[in-house]
Structure 1
Amino acid sequence: MVAGVATAAAAAAWLRVGQDEPPGVRPASPLVRAALHHAASQAEKRQVNWRGLVRNRSLWLLAVSYSTVGYVEYLLIFWLERYLKQVMHYSTTQSRLAAMIPMLCMAACMPLGGWMSDRLMPALGYRRARAAVALLGMCGCAGCLFASTFARSAGYSVAAFAAALAAIGVAEAPAWATAVDLGGKDGATSAAVVNTGGNGGGVISPSLSPWLVGVLQPLVGEAAGWAWALRLGSLVCLLGGLLWLWIDASERAPASG
């Protein structure tokens, strides 16, 4: 609710002070606006080069890799609070507050990945800089997520989850920048392909994980069931990170005429 009110206030402020024209410039007349609109409508329309995108191996590898990012992120977004409450025995209020910490860590580290890859480009080159940061982030997430299953206290568990999501947050910027670059002039479409992969992974994990816990709970107990669900997420993330060894950020699709 607080976020909704803040967003509404920001939108209202923008409507109040926002301008269509730069400061000090007289607004365009209706005739000029009509001419500009006509010119834009008559501009040559270029079709998306689907053939080039479909043949772009790196784009599809990135889409699969990003699906593993979605798998892990949605797993924790949907089930971390319940895990902390049911397995680590936090109260309802404590589990809600504690579950917020890893999410904030992920958000804080997202810009860091872009900064790191930009700084590494002079030394490693375009392809290796992007791949190195993404691989480091996703493998780091896999390791921290795996380590979380051995935590014996709620505090250590939250710290491990925070480190896991912080690490995968680092991988976000290289993934999105590469998604746009791979499409060339069709960068928006290639980014949509990658984002679809991420959402695909995000659809699977919130359903698969509790199902796996339900299957394992009669055999090993709820805590161990969740541990194996998290370890599966760790393995998925590791495999997705390793795909960056074959993703070439400079493999752009040719533009269609």
Structure 2
Amino acid sequence: PDVPLSIPEVNPEALEVSPPPRVIAVPNCTTIAAMLAIGPLHRAAGLRSLVMSSYQSVSGAGMKGTRELAEQIEKLHGQEETLGDADFDSLPFGEVVGKTIAYNVVPKIGPFEPGGYTDEEAKMMAEPRKILGLPDLPVVATSVRVPVPVGHGVSLVAGFSRPIGVDEAREILRGAQSVELRDDPEHDVYPSPLESAGLDVALVGRVRQVEHDPSALVLFSCADNLRLGAALDAVHVAEHLFVSR
């Protein structure tokens, strides 16, 4: 509990202690995509609840996950029209993902824990509480593996302590660090996970008001899970520590 969990763009204060921390943890890649969007909104309006559904690429399971998807697509090539009547047990079995991942989504990442959540979902619920300094924050998470090579997406339903509209949220996100707002429904502009591959920013869009609740928003955030969701956060931590010395 004493080890800082840091996204410098969101909670730099976790690193600004004396003496400087000797061990620093970086969050789950999906948490980073979510918190880069939620953090600035929390600073403006005070987060009071969060529901997350993640759509995580196979590279989150490593090279074996990526290879498993490619092999299954190759095996099923030419059989796409038969999948509606296919015997599921006859389809390629995924040792990494746990089920067929080609042309499918799998709503389980990691082993189940008591209560029915997976360990991935448990991390997604615990980490925002620590990063934002809200130990009692109500958080619900569902993690889903999807047949995408690189890039995680996360759908966010966030409740705040005061009313916050779509226009205000967009303005906040335009000025947020490591965020690129892609949100213009009139011109069909919105983000997708594969578009985030190779980028140093989270792509955020689909900002909507929750009907009948002016204090709640829905949005979608995407990030390269290998780049921004892993290596780059560690680099940002090191840069912040160096500059603040």
TM range (shorter): under 0.3
Richer in strand (by share) = 2
Q: Which has the higher helix share?
A: 1
